[in-house]
Structure formats: structure tokens, C-alpha cells
Amino acid sequence: MAEVGSVVRVAGPVVVAEGLPRARLYDVVYVGPLQLIGEVIRLQGDLVTVQVYENTSGLQVGDPLVESGAPLEVELGPGLLGSIFDGVQRPLPAMACSAADPFGQPFVRRGGQTALPALDRQRVWEFEPKVQPGQAVAAGDVLGVVMETAHLAHRVLVPPRRAGTVTQVRAGRVTVEEPVVWLDGEPLTLLQRWPVRQRRPFVRKLDPTEPLITGQRAIDMLFPLARGGSAIIPGGFGTGKTVAQQTIAKWADADIIVYIGCGERGNELTDVLEEFPALVDPRTNQPLMQRTILIANTSNMPVAAREASIYTGITIAEYYRDQGYHVALMADSTSRWGEALREVSGRLEEMPGEEGFPAYLPTRLAEFYERAGRVECLGSDDRIGSVSIIGAVSPPGGDFSEPITQHSLRIAGTFWALDTDLARRRHFPAIHWTRSYTLYRLGGWFNRQVAADWEDHREWALALLQRETDLLEIVQLVGADALAPAERAILLTGRLVREDFLQQSAFDDVDAFCPLSKQYHMLAVIRHFHEVVNRALRRGASIEQIAGLRCLAQIARMRLWDPAEAAAQAQALRAAIEEEVSHL
């Protein structure tokens, strides 16, 4: 029988209660007459401190508080893809349709009594078993398959820490709550539950040896992210963090996309919610939402639910990883998540750390990012799955020295620094080439899969951009005319790399996604131009003559090449460069 306590103090989302002697840390409780969902975050003597995931207005001292005896869990099973949840996995469209205000506008009422289950209990699925009675199975083995979408098979697995012998199998049309396999007489359904703060187990974590292909030249060529790795995108207001994440979500080489709108502005998240269902997945020509899960928790929603949304998203991502799929998780943004931690910590009257953030901020960030990885999944078959985490950071005023950016830097393997000055000049993606870096050494993969000199071209581009940055500082002091011809050629080639290679339009039908082979040929053409120009300068040609070459306009149009014809067009353009420069 559930214990019933009473509220003794209310401070925003933090509620203190008494009368729950058997309460455990991180257990879910229901607060007040509306049964607001909350989670135990502190035990001190006879007092229990709860963070409530909903608006606590109207609560008063003496209101009842009921424990559930279980931690915060998410429902896992077919039907997650294409769904839109809030921070604690309540289906927002279903709740909005079931609760309209007198004026006919969607209005989600508070409380557990009106909450709907995350997975539709009435929807029927066609279950195809992969096991037979008498077969012994272990944790992670595939029991059967459900076609969740036309292009993705949802693998129903033996839950972790379960094993035994199959005694009965049911095939055909079932709901998520109906048994499909009996294991030692115990029924298993399509529906599973898992605590959000507990990482799902796997056999072992594998080295990050493969890239997550995004189709963005500034990322794939200069600062690639490993599949199963973690990256952060810090940037000030208006630098394009959300657009960059949406672009990666659309084009990344991932089977599943989990997009967490954590504390962002409502209008930004509305754009995501309206745009994603209308986007077409370039891999399947079906709506992009068929492989996307959205978790929406805007800045005007309760801060405690914002803190939980990160864990909800990563647990769902790990569930599909365990099926052998590659998942890309977008967290927009971890700064708002950190602000939620700071607000709850202040309500708890904890000793503040740097800039008011709690002292355990680095630990919480590490716990989140370390759940990324490419792993060997549980089960008898050889399945490899991965979760790649891309977290946006919104430092106040674009100051990268603030705590969340600095602590994320120590954890993440890739750093894409968005620059306000580049954004003002309409250079997108505004990833600054001298402030960004990647710790993943993936040159060997690119050399094997794309071109043997891929890494050589990458190092040449980075060195050229760094040299151009140094020369631009000199130009500001003494002017470009004081530079030697070879140095002015570096400035010219650097501009080609920046404007004709790194700059990329997310809204252009051709340029939004650039395959690796096309990226290679584009950069190879620019490098060839630089080498030909240096030879011409040594023969006595002037930089003014070179700046007027007609081939520069052809280089600027490389982004419009058909990827299938990129190699032939690159060869023709190199020949045209040789021919035109030879007449100088």
C-alpha cells in the first residue's frame, strides 16, 4: 500500500514533505490534489525533498503526497518514432487534443490524473517472432520484429538482466501491453520500462574509428565527429546553433534522430515542431519524422522537467542503440539544462559554485556525455549500435570561459566554436576554423574510404587558414601592399577556402548536403589553384592578374556540382586553371 505524506514547505518547483519513511532517492511521488509528478532528490531525517515537474501554483501546506515506490522511468517500445513528448515523456499532441480550453485552443492540464501514457495502448502491431518454444535466450537476444515504419524494423529484445527458456510464442496482431513471448512461464510484452538516470548495459564500448557523416564541409573535412562520439556547439545569440543541429539531424548518417529542445524559446521550438513533420528524409523519401523523436521542453515550462528531459532523451536513444541502430542525439541546449540545475540548487539552499552553478555540475555533464558511445550490444548475435551526442551551448554574451562551456570542453571530443563575427557577415555555418578542434583521429578511415590523400588535404587547409589569420593581423597594421606576392596568394586562396568551400547554405537544394567525394574534389581544386598560382608568381606574374582570372568564378560555382559528376568537373576545372594561368 502506497504511503501518504503531507507537504510542509513549497519553494517554486521544490516541495518538502514529511510522513514518507520508506521513500528512496529518485523515487517518483505525486503531490497535491492534482497529483503533480515529482521526484525525490533529498532525504534529511524525517523530511523528503521533491522536485516537481509541473507548475506548483496552488499547492499549500498540508496537501497530500503519495509515493509510487519506483524511480522515474520511460516507456520503451514500438510507437516512439514520430512522437513528440515533454520532458517526462508525456505525449504532447495527444494531451493537447484531449484537453481544450473553452476557446477551443489546446491547453494541457496539470496533474497525473490527466496524463496519457507515452505509447498508444490501442494501436495494433504485427509481431513476427524470431524464437521458438524450447529455445534458450539471454539478455539482449532478439525475440521478434515489429515494422515500426516502412523502413525500420523494431527489434523486440530480451530485457537486460533477464534470461531463460522460451515456453510460448504468439505471432500476429498485438498491442504493446499484450504478451508476445513467455520466458520460463513469465509473459513479455512489446512494452518495456527503464529508469532514466540509469544507463542501459552493453557488452563493451568500442573505439571511435568511424565518422558520423553530416554532409557539412566544415565538419566532415576539418573537424569530423566520430560515430558514437560527443560534440558541443557553443555560440552566442544568432550564430546558428539551432539551424546547425537541425541540418545535422536531417542529413547525418544516423538511423534514428532524438531531438531535445531543452529550455529553448517557444517560437524556436515551434519552428522545429512544424518543420520536421514537413521535411522529407533524403534517405527514404519519406517524412523525416518517421525516424525522429522530439522532446519539447520550452523555457516557460517548469525547470525541473527541463532537467529530466536530457535523461529521457538519452534513455530512448540507448534503447534504439541496443537494437543495433546508430542514433544521433541533439541537445539544444545544455546551457538551459545547467540553468535548471542552478535554479533547483538555489531553492535547496545548497552552497553555490562558480557563477552560482551547483558544485556537482561537472559530474552531471560528464554523466550525460559519457552515455554516448559505439558499443557491442547485449545478445547472442553480433550487433553494433551507437549514440552520438551533439550538445548546443548558449554562453551568455558568447563568453566561452563560462562554466558550462569549459566543463563541456573537458568531456566532449569535438568542439565546433560558432563565431558571432562570422554570423554577422552571413557566413554559415559560422564554425570558426582556428578555435574549433576534434580529438578523434579519423584520417585513416577517410584515406581508405574516400581518397588516399584526404588527411593531407585536411592538414593543408588547416595550415593555410591559420597562416591566413596571421597575415590578416599584419594587413590591419601595414596594409596588404606590404606583403610579399606569395603571402598575398595565401590571402587569395584562404578566401577561396572560406567563402567557396567552408560556407554552405542549409536551405539550398544542392548545397545543403555535400557528399565526401565532392568535398574532396572541391578542396583538391582549390589546392591545385594555389600551387599553380605560386608557380606563376615565380615566373613573374602579378597578384593583380591572378585576382582577375575567369576561373575564380568557376571555383565559386563548385558547390552547385552534381555529386555524380564532381570528379569529371574537377578534372576539367584543373585543366582550365592550368590553361588560363599559363598565359599570364
Q: Which of these, 237, 506, 277, 205, lies nearest to 392 by C-alpha position?
A: 237
For residue 283, pLDDT beyond 80 = no
Q: Are 194 and 200 in contact (CB under 8 A)?
A: yes
Residue 1 is predicted with a pLDDT of 54
Confidence of residue 166 (pLDDT cuts 50, 70, 90): very high
Residue ranges of E strands in 255-361: 256-262, 292-297, 326-332
Q: Are 10 and 56 in contact (CB under 8 A)?
A: yes
Q: Name the CATH topology of 4-71.
A: Elongation Factor Tu (Ef-tu); domain 3 (2.40.30)
**Is the alpha carbon torsion for 141, 147, 149, 150 positive or negative?**
positive
Residue 314 is predicted with a pLDDT of 97
Cβ burial 223-258 (10 Å sphere, 16+ → b, else e): bbbbbbbbbbbbbbeebbbbbbbbbbbbbbebbbbb
Q: Name the CATH topology of 454-582.
A: 1.10.1140
Three state DSSP letters for 212-273 = CCCCCHHHHHHCCCECCCEEEEECCCCCCHHHHHHHHHHHCCCCEEEEEEECCCHHHHHHHH
For residue 262, pLDDT beyond 90 = no
Q: Which tens digits make up the pLDDT trace of 294-307?
A: 998 877 777 888 88
> Range with the lowest mean pLDDT among 8-12, 236-240, 440-444?
236-240
What does the alpha-carbon distance between residue 203 and residue 274 come to, in Å, rounded to a whole number?
39
Residue 532 is predicted with a pLDDT of 95
> Range with the lowest mean pLDDT among 38-42, 182-186, 301-305, 424-428?
301-305
- For the question of whether the overall pTM of this predicted structure is more than 0.75, the answer is yes
For residue 366, pLDDT beyond 70 = yes
Confidence of residue 274 (pLDDT cuts 50, 70, 90): confident
Confidence of residue 207 (pLDDT cuts 50, 70, 90): very high
Confidence of residue 151 (pLDDT cuts 50, 70, 90): confident
Domain spanning 204-441: CATH superfamily: P-loop containing nucleotide triphosphate hydrolases (3.40.50.300)
Confidence of residue 98 (pLDDT cuts 50, 70, 90): low
What does the alpha-carbon distance between residue 348 and residue 352 come to, in Å, rounded to a whole number?
10
For residue 558, pLDDT beyond 90 = yes
Residue 112 is predicted with a pLDDT of 65
Confidence of residue 455 (pLDDT cuts 50, 70, 90): very high
Provide DSSP, 133-188. Answer: TT-EE-TT-EEEEEEEETTEEEEEEPPTT--EEEEEE--EEE-TTSEEEEETTEEE
**Close Cβ partners of 185 (under 8 Å, ≥ 6 residues apart):** 167
The mean pLDDT value for 319-335 works out to: 95
Question: Residue 280 to residues 250, 271, 285, 287: CA-CA distances in angstroms?
Answer: 9, 16, 6, 5
The mean pLDDT value for 26-36 works out to: 92
For residue 206, pLDDT beyond 90 = yes
Q: Which tens digits make up the pLDDT trace of 50-74?
A: 999 988 989 999 999 999 889 999 9
The mean pLDDT value for 474-502 works out to: 93
What percent of the chain stands above pLDDT 70? 97
Question: Residue 95 to residues 105, 112, 290: CA-CA distances in angstroms?
Answer: 12, 12, 20
Residue 332 is predicted with a pLDDT of 86
Residue 97 is predicted with a pLDDT of 62
Confidence of residue 15 (pLDDT cuts 50, 70, 90): very high
User: Which of 3.40.80.10, 2.170.120.12, 1.20.1050.140, 2.40.50.100 is the CATH number of 125-190?
Assistant: 2.40.50.100
Q: What radius of gyration do the chain's Cα atoms show?
A: 27
Q: Which tens digits make up the pLDDT trace of 496-538?
A: 999 999 999 988 889 999 999 999 999 999 999 999 999 999 9
Q: Which tens digits make up the pLDDT trace of 99-137?
A: 555 555 556 677 765 568 999 999 999 999 999 999 999
What is residue 472's three-state secondary structure?
helix
The mean pLDDT value for 161-184 works out to: 95
The mean pLDDT value for 432-445 works out to: 95
Check residues 107 and 265 and name the one with the higher pLDDT: 265
Q: Which tens digits make up the pLDDT trace of 341-357?
A: 999 999 888 998 889 99
Confidence of residue 446 (pLDDT cuts 50, 70, 90): very high
For residue 428, pLDDT beyond 80 = yes
Q: Where are the domains of the chain?
A: 4-71, 125-190, 204-441, 454-582
For residue 291, pLDDT beyond 80 = yes
The mean pLDDT value for 309-314 works out to: 94
Residue 99 is predicted with a pLDDT of 53
Q: Are 520 and 563 in contact (CB under 8 A)?
A: no
What does the alpha-carbon distance between residue 15 and residue 67 come to, in Å, rounded to a whole number?
14
Residue 125 is predicted with a pLDDT of 96
Residue 238 is predicted with a pLDDT of 85
Question: Residue 565 to residues 363, 403, 479, 506, 552: CA-CA distances in angstroms?
Answer: 49, 47, 41, 21, 19
Residue 402 is predicted with a pLDDT of 93
Task: Please tell me what DSSP assigns to residue 512.
Answer: S
The mean pLDDT value for 463-482 works out to: 92
Q: Which helix (H) or strand (E) holds 406?
A: helix 403-411
For residue 168, pLDDT beyond 70 = yes
For residue 458, pLDDT beyond 90 = yes
Residue 333 is predicted with a pLDDT of 85
Residue 282 is predicted with a pLDDT of 73
